[in-house]
Amino acid sequence: MLSMGDQEKHDVAIVGGGVSGLYAGWRILADARTRGKPVPRVTIYELGDRIGGRLQTWLPFGPDGGIRAELGGMRFLDNQQLLCTLLAELGFARQDFLPLHGHGPNLRLLLRGRGTALTTTTPTKRYKVSSSARDKQAADVLAEVITEVLGTEENRLVLKALIGKDCPADRREWDAVKAELTWHGRPLWDVGFWNLLSDVRNPETYQYLCDAFGYYSLAGNWNAAEAMEALHLDFTPGLHYLTLAEGMQALPDTIAEHLTRLGGSVEPGTRLAGFDVGADGRPSLKLVTGPSTRTTVADQLILALPRRSLELLAPTAAFDLPGDDGLRRLVQAVTPNPAFKLFLWYADRWWERRGITQGRSVSDLPIRQTYYFAPDGPVRHSAGLLMASYDDARAVDSWHGLCPTERELATGRDELHTAMRNFVQRHQLGGAAHDVPRPPPHLSLATEGMRRHATSQLARLHGVPEDHIPDADVGAFADWTPDPYGGGWNFWNVGVDVRTSMARIKQPLGPGTRVHVVGEAYSGLQGWIEGALTATEVTLQRHFGVRQPDWFPTGYYLGW
Ligand SMILES: Cc1cc2nc3c(=O)[nH]c(=O)nc-3n(C[C@H](O)[C@H](O)[C@H](O)COP(=O)(O)OP(=O)(O)OC[C@H]3O[C@@H](n4cnc5c(N)ncnc54)[C@H](O)[C@@H]3O)c2cc1C
């Protein structure tokens, strides 16, 4: 247990300098300013040497070089209204996320050892899929499964009674019905999505869906009611994906600038070791900066942290995860999903010779999804970036066997910086005066083994001998599995009453207490920035009395 003294004081202490923590601080300060209240003392503590959390961008060719390595979040949807209006308020211009709007005929789908065009339906022949899934794309099979589950007699009655239609059209309608939906007499939230898919079709159809969809975690055994909503609303064909030309990291950076202008402060390099609650109900935080430890007291504490970060806090009388079963069950109501990205930079965009300009290929090899990037900024050049692998869940394990040692990892960021500088100089990328910025904290030099395995899989994906795939000039990886993240995104577990858990996590120590958990992990849109923002906004309105500002999307449903 930690022993707590009483030194610094804050109105609001926020732990976690990801987008949710920064947004919380900025909104509290902006609300006070709008209402003519005194400036509250708001400080954000971030353990990393840089803010942004799971939004980290590297622009090695400079801001005009037009090739962004997005280590975490890279795109958003035009129907994610809180994020979209926030971006407009902060002065960002959005642009199309090209890889998901490119469906050229040469993008690849490699399943069970045979490659075809991404849009082909023939791979179902390589699986013993159910007859209804034959010759169909994975997204269409998924859509049919969702329709079938919603179409049972019991569910049709629920839908008619609660929303007056056959299928929920948006998040508000899904929230209205999902607790009442069933499958074979069991509440849908108590069924695993993997089990449901397998049940509705068959295990081989499930395998096809899993392989062809590109993400294992989405079709994993998470809460089926949540999974159906997520897949129905966020992963169906025809959605409009956007990104920021500056890179997604510009969002947390800009919020932080606004926050400091309003009198808030951000303290990178400071870790919350644990917190307790005093007799007056106020939280006291044990903070570690380098070798020194100090204690600070706050009127309110916002933990803008995912599950794994919460689990790493030292147990105290107030927050005792090992000893308090109810609290532990609440925090562990979600599961983090491993996520991994491997980036390969080339002087020459070799894939264009294979007829691929932009887009995404998919395979059942550990690389899973491959994204092709060309410069889209004002400076044109011949270099390109391949996000050779964007993979999750069990595929990440394959890369773990090829990871650098602890010692290599310690110097990996500097070596990557040097390697990229040499590459940029050699090919005169980014202009004469350009100096390559230091890589984000979460990026490290790829090992020889990673590059070799990736090259071999890329050759199979593109149906060419290995020596047709050139050696990458620079390789780097971002693995979101290690602490303090535990995974790239979190999903609600089977058997969790999500509505109740979302309400409780906003005040995990009980009604009227001064500790709050916000962010993506316990949101209604997990794996999205929009989820991090909406969960935070609901907490601020409900527990801090923060009012909606003028720029807020009118009538927008924020969820539970
Ligand atoms: C690979 C990947 C792909 C993604 N793709 C997309 C996408 O395309 N679109 C999209 O919208 N979203 C995407 N996401 C999700 C999106 O990035 C997250 O939803 C969002 O960034 C989460 O923000 P957050 O503030 O909730 O948490 P985080 O960003 O995780 O912030 C938590 C912060 O807390 C800090 N911290 C942890 N413990 C402590 C401690 N003890 N003391 C002090 N600080 C601490 C961490 O260092 C971190 O900065 C993706 C995520 C990943 C990893």
Look at the block and give the residue holding tokens 């790829």.
446
- Ligand 1 centroid to Cα of residue 558, in Å, is 19
Confidence (pLDDT) at 504: 98
* 515-532 per-position pLDDT tens digit: 999 999 999 999 999 999
Does residue 520's CB lie within 6 angstroms of at least one atom of ligand 1?
yes
Does residue 74's CB lie within 6 angstroms of at least one atom of ligand 1?
yes
Cα torsion angle, 442, 445, 450, 455, sign: positive
Confidence (pLDDT) at 97: 87
Q: What is the ipTM of this complex?
A: 1.00
Ligand 1: nearest atom to the Cα of 341: 1
> What is the Cα Rg of the chain in Å?
24
pLDDT at 351 over 80: yes
Average pLDDT over residues 68-75: 97
Q: Are the C-beta atoms of 461 and 108 separated by less than 8 Å?
A: yes
* 464-485 per-position pLDDT tens digit: 999 999 999 999 999 999 999 9
Does residue 384's CB lie within 6 angstroms of at least one atom of ligand 1?
no
Confidence (pLDDT) at 6: 43
pLDDT at 2 over 90: no
Confidence (pLDDT) at 8: 67
Per DSSP, 433 falls in state T
Query: Measuring CA to CA, which residue among 357, 303, 337, 320 is closest to residue 493?
Result: 337
**Backbone phi, then psi, for 24, in 5-degree steps?**
-60, -45
| Nearest Cα residue to atom 36 of ligand 1 | 16
β-sheet bridge partners, residue 10: 298
Contacts of 270-273 with C-beta under 8 Å, sequence gap 24+, read 270/45, 270/46, 270/47, 271/45, 271/47, 272/15, 272/45, 272/47, 272/303, 272/313, 273/2, 273/313, 273/314
149 Cβ contact list (under 8 Å, min separation 6): 155, 181, 183, 188, 196, 200, 228
Query: Measuring CA to CA, which residue among 376, 379, 383 is closest to residue 431?
Result: 379
Does residue 14's CB lie within 6 angstroms of at least one atom of ligand 1?
no
- The CA distance from 372 to 361, in Å, is 9
Does residue 196's CB lie within 6 angstroms of at least one atom of ligand 1?
no
Neighbours of 463 (CB within 10 A): 13
Q: Indicate the pLDDT class of residue 105, thresholds 50, 70 and 90.
A: confident
- For residue 395 the two structure tokens come to 């595929």
Q: Indicate the pLDDT class of residue 103, thresholds 50, 70 and 90.
A: low
3-state helix vs strand vs coil in the chain, percent to 5? 35, 20, 40
- Ligand 1 centroid to Cα of residue 54, in Å, is 3
Ligand 1: nearest atom to the Cα of 530: 11
* 264-320 per-position pLDDT tens digit: 999 999 999 999 999 999 999 999 999 999 999 999 999 999 999 999 999 999 999
pLDDT at 262 over 50: yes
- Ligand 1 centroid to Cα of residue 122, in Å, is 38
- The CA distance from 381 to 14, in Å, is 42
Q: Indicate the pLDDT class of residue 4, thresholds 50, 70 and 90.
A: very low
- Ligand 1 centroid to Cα of residue 18, in Å, is 6
Ligand 1: nearest atom to the Cα of 48: 47
Q: Indicate the pLDDT class of residue 9, thresholds 50, 70 and 90.
A: confident
- Ligand 1 centroid to Cα of residue 508, in Å, is 20
Strand 444-445, strand 182-183: pairing: unpaired
- Ligand 1 centroid to Cα of residue 255, in Å, is 15
Q: Are the C-beta atoms of 145 and 197 separated by less than 8 Å?
A: yes
- The CA distance from 188 to 34, in Å, is 44
Q: Are the C-beta atoms of 9 and 296 separated by less than 8 Å?
A: yes
329 Cβ contact list (under 8 Å, min separation 6): none
CA-CA distances (angstroms) from residue 544 to 28, 262, 303, 550?
Answer: 8, 18, 14, 18
Does residue 68's CB lie within 6 angstroms of at least one atom of ligand 1?
no
- Ligand 1 centroid to Cα of residue 327, in Å, is 22
Percent of the chain with pLDDT over 70: 98
Residues in the chain: 560
Query: Measuring CA to CA, which residue among 400, 504, 489, 501 is closest to residue 453?
Result: 400
Ligand 1: nearest atom to the Cα of 20: 25
Q: Indicate the pLDDT class of residue 1, thresholds 50, 70 and 90.
A: very low
Does residue 532's CB lie within 6 angstroms of at least one atom of ligand 1?
yes
| Nearest Cα residue to atom 26 of ligand 1 | 519
- The CA distance from 267 to 9, in Å, is 15
- The CA distance from 263 to 244, in Å, is 27
Higher confidence at residue 66 or residue 390? 390
Does residue 339's CB lie within 6 angstroms of at least one atom of ligand 1?
yes
- Ligand 1 centroid to Cα of residue 483, in Å, is 12
Ligand 1: nearest atom to the Cα of 19: 25
Strand 108-111, strand 94-96: pairing: unpaired
Does residue 234's CB lie within 6 angstroms of at least one atom of ligand 1?
no
* 75-98 per-position pLDDT tens digit: 999 999 999 999 999 999 999 888
Domains of the chain with bracketed CATH? 8-52+246-334+491-543 (3.50.50.60), 95-104+339-479 (3.90.660), 127-239 (no CATH)
How many CA within 13 A on the CB side of residue 58?
A: 26
Does residue 527's CB lie within 6 angstroms of at least one atom of ligand 1?
yes
Ligand 1: nearest atom to the Cα of 51: 49
- Ligand 1 centroid to Cα of residue 469, in Å, is 33
- For residue 29 the two structure tokens come to 């300060």
Cα torsion angle, 488, 491, 493, 499, sign: positive
- The CA distance from 148 to 32, in Å, is 49
Q: Which of 41-50, 93-102, 323-332, 524-533 has the lowest mean pLDDT?
A: 93-102
Q: Are the C-beta atoms of 487 and 338 separated by less than 8 Å?
A: yes
Does residue 232's CB lie within 6 angstroms of at least one atom of ligand 1?
no
- Ligand 1 centroid to Cα of residue 162, in Å, is 35
Q: Indicate the pLDDT class of residue 66, thresholds 50, 70 and 90.
A: confident
Q: Which amino acid is at 64?
A: D
Q: Could you give the residue ranges of the DSSP H alpha helices within 235-315? A: 250-261, 307-311
Average pLDDT of the chain to the nearest whole number: 94
Average pLDDT over residues 143-169: 97
Does residue 25's CB lie within 6 angstroms of at least one atom of ligand 1?
no
Residue among 78, 243, 305, 340 to mutate when testing ligand 1 (max atoms within 8 A of CB): 305
Confidence (pLDDT) at 104: 76
Confidence (pLDDT) at 546: 98
- The CA distance from 385 to 557, in Å, is 37
Does residue 17's CB lie within 6 angstroms of at least one atom of ligand 1?
yes
Q: Are the C-beta atoms of 46 and 270 separated by less than 8 Å?
A: yes
β-sheet bridge partners, residue 52: 18
Confidence (pLDDT) at 7: 53
- The CA distance from 26 to 31, in Å, is 8
Confidence (pLDDT) at 288: 98
384 sits in which H/E element: strand 384-392
Neighbours of 359 (CB within 10 A): 20
Ligand 1: nearest atom to the Cα of 527: 15
Q: Indicate the pLDDT class of residue 5, thresholds 50, 70 and 90.
A: very low
Ligand 1: nearest atom to the Cα of 22: 25
CA-CA distances (angstroms) from residue 239 to 100, 277, 389?
Answer: 9, 46, 23
Confidence (pLDDT) at 102: 63
| Nearest Cα residue to atom 35 of ligand 1 | 16
Look at the block and give the residue holding tokens 């951000």.
266
3-state secondary structure 193-219: HHHHHHHHCCHHHHHHHHHHHCCCHHH
Average pLDDT over residues 44-69: 94
- The CA distance from 113 to 104, in Å, is 21
- Ligand 1 centroid to Cα of residue 270, in Å, is 17
Does residue 343's CB lie within 6 angstroms of at least one atom of ligand 1?
no
